Amino acid sequence: MKQQTLILIKPDGLVKSLTGNILTRLSETKLEIAAAKMVRVTPELAREHYKHLQDKPFFNELIEYLQGKLHSRRKVLAMVYWGENAIQKVRELAGATNPEEAEPTSIRGAYGRITSKGVYENVIHASSNESEAEREIKLWFEPDEIILDAYPVKTITIEKLSKKVWS
Ligand code: IDP
Ligand code: MG
């Protein structure tokens, strides 16, 4: 079954210069990259992305972590990978949520850590099922930013739209 999945290289992954290593590991899956962009994460985006954890004691630190407030990189690399069984393939390669319990050869096992404040800095996010992937991909990407027809779209006309163009 062909699927799409959202992958984020979190701020710790960027600060540790792990982007190349992580992309190389991801290429083992033979999945296709359908979208990629750098994103400055607003508090609203971080809260929406992790809203299923809003009652957890580590929620506020987690939101700061995703925004890059714990690191010197206020950005993440957001990507959509597409192909056969994409969600499970990427989750397996990512490893368990807790980097200390993750397979040592998984991305999180190799590069993650638990901070003294108890945040799991696990360098990568990967969607865990199809409905989560759909919610997350729609949250992080516009239809035109993805190189395939990920989900049904509609066209709307926006009047008086202002946007930045090259001057
Ligand atoms: P996942 O990233 O493996 O899907 P989730 O339960 O969705 O795991 O948690 C999202 C993120 O929240 C994790 O990747 C990790 O950074 C952080 N997190 C999850 N559980 C804990 C915890 O018990 N303590 C500290 N941080 C956690
Ligand atoms: Mg999750």
What is the full per-residue pLDDT of the chain (167 aa) written as tens digits?
Answer: 999 999 999 999 999 999 999 999 999 999 999 999 999 999 999 999 999 999 999 999 999 999 999 998 899 999 999 999 999 999 999 999 999 999 999 999 999 999 988 999 999 999 999 999 999 999 999 999 999 998 999 999 999 999 999 99
Q: How far away, in angstroms, is 86 Cα from ligand 1 center? A: 20
Ligand with an atom nearest the CA of residue 96: 1
Q: In one letter, which amino acid is 91?
A: R
Distance CA 102, CA 56 (A): 21
Hey, which of 92, 120, 127, 139 would you mutate to test ligand 1's pocket, going by the most ligand atoms within 8 Å of its Cβ? 120
In-domain check, residue 152: no
Any ligand 1 atom below 6 A from CB of 118: yes
Give residue 124's domain range: 2-145
pLDDT (0 to 100) of residue 42: 98
pLDDT (0 to 100) of residue 150: 87
Kindly state the tokens that stand for 53: 């954890």
In-domain check, residue 164: no
In-domain check, residue 160: no
pLDDT (0 to 100) of residue 117: 86
In-domain check, residue 113: yes
Write the residue with the smallest CA distance to atom 6 of ligand 1.
97
Catalytic residues: 125
Distance CA 77, CA 4 (A): 16
pLDDT (0 to 100) of residue 4: 98
Q: How far away, in angstroms, is 24 Cα from ligand 2 center? A: 22
Q: Given the structure tokens 């192909």, which residue do they identify?
A: 83
- CATH number of the domain to which 42 belongs: 3.30.70.141
In-domain check, residue 62: yes
In-domain check, residue 89: yes
Distance CA 79, CA 8 (A): 6
Distance CA 1, CA 3 (A): 6
Number of domains into which the chain is organized: 1
In-domain check, residue 150: no
